[in-house]
Structure 1
């Protein structure tokens, strides 16, 4: 399945937030190209570019999806797509430490134009302590280039190994993908003292992203979408909503959505955007809105697994019920409108129409992000 189409409500809200931010050169830190991933997702360069266009974004780092038969041909596809993209796609080489010829492939790709590397310890079945990992990071350090690590769930020794690599190779820029959710609680302190340790925001749960934005210095947070696993339009919405909720200033946000990544991949010195902002701005939590956020997170999990999310969305609507007045009630009614759209679209979508069902679930997830970020208020657009 290629990049899922974002629903109209999401597009309207995301574009309004981007317009409010003002001019920014959006540069996505995390996109994939490939046709053979065992998980069934696919993406061509043209589809990634179309996703950037829909989101109103300029450029993206891109790299191969999982290739069970090896990465030489897949890396060549990415390199050629990048050369043909008029500078909009910038290539990372995907390397599988422990595979025969892994370091030779890394050197070959650097010489062919790759800016750095993508390593995926889970799908390519290696530990971060493998000696090839250290060797790949050392190669990147020679050119002050990036190494992007998959850092979702199920990555043993992530924090300890990532910190050690950042300390041993200060010239390399290490990017922990997916908000480093597997070890985020262990990484805030090291991040504050390691300016070459970065985090990308390609993730879908508001609690994880809020912890990232509150506890990690903003100059070390890089906008990312994970296309084709999620549309850039959604990722931009989630990014901007969380920044507003924790109180990151707009001038810093404009650096985080693109300018800082440009420095990371070109070997320039990143700018210091100050210390982590903390969680004080988030304020007191609302139990009704927490109910909405919780059930929409369940809906997202079900939707990605191809399971009917109708009941989870219905339960989220139960959380959105209110007879009150004031800002909280206004936000509850707004998210209920999104959840009602999600219910309607789920009911109308055929059981075998995965893109339509996923678009409906995204409406629910947008409602969940709004519910989890009450300090950012009601979006400035009508549904």
Structure 2
């Protein structure tokens, strides 16, 4: 059986069955109907192949050995999430240059339409026409957007995006944004530009990916200041991330206070350890900081269900 510390995927049928049973046991013990995972990746094959090749090369935005745990065909990855009991998930996808976002949005709309449990996900890039295609995505039923400031290398305060943030705030459609400076800082990552963005759009439903690592404290500050800011747990608290970006134990009280605004995210399938480990890391954190099972229930299901189910 794959183990949380193995750093390898669960490809054999027996190992997959063992992990599936362990994941289901996790949420059944908590009395939950399943999981809501707001940060999973599905994208066109040729795009995903390039993403995986980047991780394989330990590219400069990661600089780490990063074996993909679930290097499976698309239908197999969907089946794995269903087997785990994930009742709602996303197809986080993102452009790294102009001219990609609208095409990706067309693909993701089709993927959500044919994939039970997948929330219609869209993305954006600061380019002429962005307001038009974001509006079209919202009007066609997009439930969540993805913005990746590190990979896209753009400023969330780019004037081309200002009407987009207003549109999403008015429509109450959340955007999951990789805006923290982990695993490597980008030109426009960090809390300062996000603080400026939220000062202009305080009602923007912003989900800070990866708990904002490594600037955990600064992004918790923003969540306390702005009621529509949430954080997802993607890769946070895991053995992998704790090696280079440990969560400060001193912030445990604020995690408790903001418990209704912390959402389960995993980065499946692009993780270097089994899916189960994210859940075990959260359970370990809750025990260590005295957060309790109610906190775990909210993070792993309740908070996401209120937003998306």
Specify the TM-score bucket, using the shorter chain as the normaliser: 0.7 to 0.9
Q: 2:217 maps to what in 1?
A: 185
Match of 1:235 among 270, 278, 294: 278
Alpha-carbon shift at residue 146 of structure 1 (Å): 0.2
Secondary structure in 2 matching 1:245: helix
Aligned to 1:91: 120
Structure 2 residue 272 is the aligned partner of structure 1 residue 225: no
> Per-residue deviation at 1:96?
1.2
1:22 aligns with 2:31: yes
Relative to 1, partners in 2 of residues 1:258 and 1:165: Cα closer, same or farther, differing over 3 Å? Answer: farther
Equivalent residues in 2 for 1:48-197, closer than 5 Å: 48-66=77-95, 70-86=100-116, 88-97=117-126, 99-152=127-180, 153=182, 154-155=185-186, 156-197=188-229
CA RMSD of aligned residues (A): 2.9
CA 1:123–1:47 in structure 2 vs 1: closer, same or farther (change >3 Å)? Answer: farther
1:33–1:43 CA contact under 8 A, matched in 2: no
1:214, CA displacement in angstroms? 5.0
Q: 1:200 to 1:226 in 2, by over 3 A?
A: same
Q: Is the 8 A contact 1:13 1:237 kept in 2?
A: no
Paired residues, number: 262
Of structures 1 and 2, the one scoring higher in RCO (CA 8 A, sep 6+) is: 2
Q: Larger Rg: 1 or 2?
A: 1
Name the CA distance, whole Å, in 2 between partners of 1:183 and 1:47: 35
Counterpart position of 1:284: none
**SS of structure 2 residue aligned to 1:136:** helix
Q: How does 1:276-295 map to 2 (within 5 A)?
A: none
* Preserved contact between residue 149 and residue 175 of structure 1 (Cα < 8 Å): yes
Is contact 1:27-1:60 (8 Å) kept? yes
Partner of 1:250: 293
Q: Distance between the aligned counterparts of 2:269 and 2:95, measured in 1?
A: 13
The offset of 1:260, in angstroms, is: 1.4
**Structure 2 SS opposite 1:63:** coil
User: How many angstroms apart in 2 are the aligned matches of 1:260 and 1:233?
Assistant: 19
**Deviating more after overlay: 23-32 vs 256-265:** 256-265
Task: Give 1:114 shift.
Answer: 0.7
How far apart are 1:241 and its partner, in Å? 2.4
In the TM superposition, residue 229 of structure 1 has moved relative to its aligned partner by 0.8
Unmatched segments (≥5 aa) in structure 1: 267-383
**Relative to structure 1, is the Cα distance of residues 198 and 119 closer, same or farther in structure 2, using a 3 angstrom cutoff?**
same
Contact 2:124 / 2:130 at 8 angstroms: preserved in 1?
A: yes
Unaligned runs of 5+ in 2: 1-7, 54-70
CA distance in 1 between counterparts of 2:307 and 2:252 reads 19
Find the aligned partners of 1:50 and 1:20 in 2 and give their Cα distance: 22
Shift of 1:200: 0.6
Shift of 1:119: 0.8
Q: Distance in 2 between matches of 1:232 and 1:65?
A: 22
Deviation at 1:15, TM superposition (A): 4.4
Q: Could you state the TM-score of these two structures normalised by the residue count of structure 1?
A: 0.60
The answer to whether the 8 A contact 1:24-1:254 is kept is no
How far did 1:54 drift? 3.5
Cα 1:148/1:112, change in 2 over 3 Å: same
Correspondence for 1:202: 234
